[in-house]
Structure 1
Amino acid sequence: MGLYEVYSHPVLTRYKASVCSRASVFVLVVYLLTYISPLLITYRSQGFWLKQSSYEEQPQVRFQYEMLMIGVTDVSGDYVAWSTFSNFNNLLGDKLRIPTVSVRESDRNGDGKPDRLSLQLSVPLSSKEQIYSIQLLLTFSYQLSRMSVVVMQTMVLLQSLSPVPVSQLFISGDLKLQQKEPLSHRGVHTDYNVSVIDSESPFASTYDLTTIIRNYQERNLTTYLSCPVPVWTVGRAASAPFQINAEIRYQWRQ
């Protein structure tokens, strides 16, 4: 003879404990580990499926007080020059012109990081010398620390020319980072933490701007002067020095 169900009801068992008991603490910990820890892991790993990403931060930039200047003094290509590298200066002979230099780095927003470089050079010239073009190389230390840790030395090349003799050059622009390939977010990147110019070298080829720029552009990370605005001033007295005024802003969005 078959059996059939006459009546049924579920059995519910409840376990209760006070808020400050060990059981309550254990349940709270289990909930946190179940729901919070996966979110933290996802956040710290930049996503489970994310392969590449980009971000912005303000770099720590410092002027290295290394400079190399070349000024063309006539249309035939004669020039005067100066640098902070003694070996290069020794190669110049009577073309060496030692300028008066004034440098100031300022922190306008008060965050502890310099955000502007003001540079002034007064280059002495003879009464027969005129300036038609200027090339000025400056070096910087550059650090990133938010996601990818980068410590390197970089440079910018300021250059401008005029069809007529001039007495002063003012140039303004933004120092920006250029990156060719993505960086790993692990480890410290110090591959480029070497001087852009080998100041110990006695060879003239070491200080050739073409060689310097060619080697520099082979790097994955470089800096350049974005949107440079040169302003020439004509009319120089015979005994007056040639003036170079440069303002470089360290862009916080890199």
Structure 2
Amino acid sequence: MAFYEVYSHPALIRYKTNVCTRATLFVLMVFCLTYIPPLLVAYKSQGFWLKRSTYEEQPVVQFQYQMLMIGATGTAGEFVAWSTFPDFNRLLGSNLRIPAVSVKEEDSNQDGKSDRLRLQLSVPLKAEEQIYSIQLLLTFSYQLFRMSTVVMQSMAFIQHSSSVPGSQLFINGDLRLHQQIPLPHRGLHAAYNVSVVETGSPFATSYDLASIIRAYQARNLTTYLSCPTPVWIIGRAVNAPFQINAEVRYPLETISYRPGFWEMIKFAWIQYVSVLLVFLWLFNHIQTFVFQNQVLPTVPKPLLKTHTQ
């Protein structure tokens, strides 16, 4: 008569011994070799603790309608200038040229956040004046909310020069965020929520571009205009204004931040367990071989007996 298996279950066998035996010492050694080396391997493999992470966020950017423009009109230091700061304009005297300004911010995806700034300046010039270089400073309100809340005043600086006088400068670029150090994972970061330019100051040094940029670049958080291809157009008609056309996009940013405690633990736990599973499998088989074959003397006591049906 042929037999076939209709049911099976494992038998649990306990291997017992006294406290001060080689088997006890072996179990303690296996325990240490199972749980401690995975920790060392994960730690030494670079990346056990998550010290820095990133996320993406569309910043809330608003143009502050603050501008400072300086244009060089010759080689002897002649220039024309204008700004939205009345005290600076009073210092210019006959060098002041008040342009016609057109500003438009667009929200192309209708998410409630501006995606682009279109700016046009028409700078009036005298018949004998020519523009050889231009410097333009624009200020923005810049905010982040997804993790830590960042509220700051930032700027974009546009500069271009040519040996040939121009009639128009066209700029198309992205307002990018630059971080010196990662942001915290939560909290309010408003240390730079101050004006980039010291408005209301009657002193010319307050509007010196070199001083403004030096102080601005000392910050941990700044923005800059990424524009690899400015276009300098020549051939200005007599008495025609010099045109500045700028398109500034507010792109999705990758923000670097310092993870919180629980995020660090979660990441470290994954690294540890992934190595621990290999050691558990290995030393479980070693212990099974040692005790089943009585390499170290113990007293086996079956807890469940196998029943044959």
TM tier, shorter chain? 0.7 to 0.9
Check whether the contact 1:67–1:136 (CA below 8 A) recurs between aligned residues.
Answer: yes
What's 1:253 paired with?
Answer: 253
Task: Report the Cα distance in structure 2 between the residues aligned to 1:228 and 1:120, rounded to whole angstroms.
Answer: 19
- DSSP 3-state at the match of 2:54: coil
Cα deviation, residue 49, structure 1: 4.8
Provide the TM-score with structure 2 as the length reference: 0.66
What's 2:140 paired with?
Answer: 140
> What amino acid is the match of 1:127?
A
Task: Report the Cα distance in structure 2 between the residues aligned to 1:186 and 1:233, rounded to whole angstroms.
Answer: 47
Matched, 1:55 2:75: no
Show structure 2 runs of 5+ residues with no match.
1-47, 255-309
Matches within 5 A, 1:158-197: 158-197=158-197
Task: Report the Cα distance in structure 2 between the residues aligned to 1:135 and 1:227, rounded to whole angstroms.
Answer: 14
Matches within 5 A, 1:1-254: 49-254=49-254
> What amino acid is the match of 1:251?
P
Runs of 4+ more than 2 Å apart? 48-52
> What amino acid is the match of 2:198?
D
Q: CA offsets per residue over residues 130-157 of structure 1, 9 Å max, x none? A: 0000000000000000012100000010
Task: Report the Cα distance in structure 2 between the residues aligned to 1:230 and 1:183, rounded to whole angstroms.
Answer: 32
Provide the TM-score with structure 1 as the length reference: 0.79
What's 1:12 paired with?
Answer: none
Cα deviation, residue 186, structure 1: 2.4
Give the structure with higher Rg (CA): 2
Q: CA offsets per residue over residues 146-184 of structure 1, 9 Å max, x none? A: 012100000010010111111111111110000001111
Task: Report the Cα distance in structure 2 between the residues aligned to 1:203 and 1:248, rounded to whole angstroms.
Answer: 30
Check whether the contact 1:171–1:228 (CA below 8 A) recurs between aligned residues.
Answer: no
Check whether the contact 1:74–1:132 (CA below 8 A) recurs between aligned residues.
Answer: yes
Bigger proportion of residues as helix: 2
Task: Report the Cα distance in structure 2 between the residues aligned to 1:106 and 1:118, rounded to whole angstroms.
Answer: 8
Q: CA offsets per residue over residues 40-68 of structure 1, 9 Å max, x none? A: xxxxxxxx953321111100000000000
Check whether the contact 2:62–2:142 (CA below 8 A) recurs between aligned residues.
Answer: yes
Task: Report the Cα distance in structure 2 between the residues aligned to 1:144 and 1:74, rounded to whole angstroms.
Answer: 43
Check whether the contact 1:166–1:233 (CA below 8 A) recurs between aligned residues.
Answer: yes
> What amino acid is the match of 1:176?
R
Task: Report the Cα distance in structure 1 between the residues aligned to 2:109 and 2:139, rounded to whole angstroms.
Answer: 23
Task: Report the Cα distance in structure 2 between the residues aligned to 1:228 and 1:121, rounded to whole angstroms.
Answer: 21
Task: Report the Cα distance in structure 2 between the residues aligned to 1:210 and 1:133, rounded to whole angstroms.
Answer: 16
- DSSP 3-state at the match of 1:222: strand
RMSD: 1.2
> What amino acid is the match of 2:148?
S
Show structure 1 runs of 5+ residues with no match.
1-47
Cα deviation, residue 75, structure 1: 1.9
Aligned length: 207
Check whether the contact 1:149–1:185 (CA below 8 A) recurs between aligned residues.
Answer: no
Q: CA offsets per residue over residues 175-214 of structure 1, 9 Å max, x none? A: 0000001111221000000000011111100000000000
State the identity as a percent: 69
